[in-house]
């Protein structure tokens, strides 16, 4: 029995040794990781989803192994219509405890006041992320009383994720990645095994999924990173390093 298992944590997240938690999670299967995390942290845990191309796998694992965990969906107001329909179908099938959070500013007002921020260089993209993703996520963490955030990030998705640990401390929030070590083939096998529907745009050449204005299908020589934000960045704005200003609470 590990120290984590014998001493359920009631202290603030800065008191958690992320190296110990990562070591405890590493030998477990993904479903066991989810059960372990809920047993340790209970209502302090939330998960997030973008209902992206392969999000169904993580959502199915939650539904099977820790259905008590609420799932936060950040609706930027700029998602593809297919993403909204995919979200409705998966939420119904898996009976998710879905919590939808939206920016405090509407898509129309954002564009009227600041134009197409996503086309305005790094400063514009960062402001766009703060308004449409970071602020709603901060609000979700506060309102749900959560300081443990589960995400379906995987190391093989991009170079920015290749060196992540299973657990990271980011300000007052502990972030944990239950399927971090899953290769693409393993994830695809899981989707087939459980007959989980793909995102509708997967069949149209998309390698990753985000807002309609900054995500495009891949051409012959593209990798996933080249299809987001004209190749200038891959991360959507939530999963950045812990030193990023205004990242989260």
Residues annotated as catalytic (active site), given as ranges: 236
Q: Count the residues in the chain.
A: 249
Q: Which residues are within 8 A (CB) of 120 and not within 5 positions of it... i.e. 6 or more apart?
A: 114, 127
Q: Is 44 left (phi over 0), alpha (psi -120 to 50) or beta?
A: alpha
| Three-state DSSP state, 57 | helix
Give the number of other CB atoms < 10 A from CB of residue 36: 21
* Residue 190 tokens, joined: 């899981």
3-state helix, strand, coil in the chain (%, to 5): 45, 10, 40
Could you list the beta-strand ranges (E) of the chain. 45-49, 71-74, 98-101, 148-150, 167-170, 173-176
| Angle, CA of 106, 107 and 111, to the nearest 5° | 115
């Amino acid at each position: 029995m590990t120290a984590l298992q014998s001493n359920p944590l009631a202290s603030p997240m800065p008191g958690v040794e992320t190296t110990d938690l990562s070591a405890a999670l590493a030998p477990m299967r993904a479903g066991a990781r989810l059960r372990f995390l809920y047993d340790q942290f209970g209502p302090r845990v939330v998960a997030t989803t973008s209902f992206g191309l392969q999000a169904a796998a993580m959502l199915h694992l939650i539904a099977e192994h820790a259905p008590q965990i609420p799932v936060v969906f950040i609706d930027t107001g700029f998602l593809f219509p297919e993403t909204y329909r995919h979200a409705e179908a998966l939420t119904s099938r898996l009976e998710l405890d879905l919590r939808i959070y939206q920016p405090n500013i509407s898509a129309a007002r954002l564009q009227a006041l600041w134009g197409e921020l996503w086309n305005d260089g790094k400063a514009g993209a960062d402001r766009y992320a703060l308004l449409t993703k970071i602020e709603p996520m901060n609000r979700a963490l506060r309102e749900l009383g959560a300081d443990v955030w589960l995400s379906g990030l995987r190391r093989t998705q991009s170079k920015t994720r290749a060196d992540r640990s299973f657990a990271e401390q980011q300000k007052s929030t502990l972030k944990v990645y239950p399927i971090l070590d899953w290769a693409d083939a393993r994830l695809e096998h899981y989707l087939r095994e459980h007959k989980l529907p793909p995102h509708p745009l997967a069949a149209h050449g998309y390698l990753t999924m985000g807002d309609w204005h900054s995500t495009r299908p891949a051409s012959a020589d593209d990798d996933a990173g080249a299809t987001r934000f004209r190749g200038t960045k891959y991360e959507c704005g939530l999963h950045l390093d812990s030193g990023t200003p205004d990242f989260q609470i």
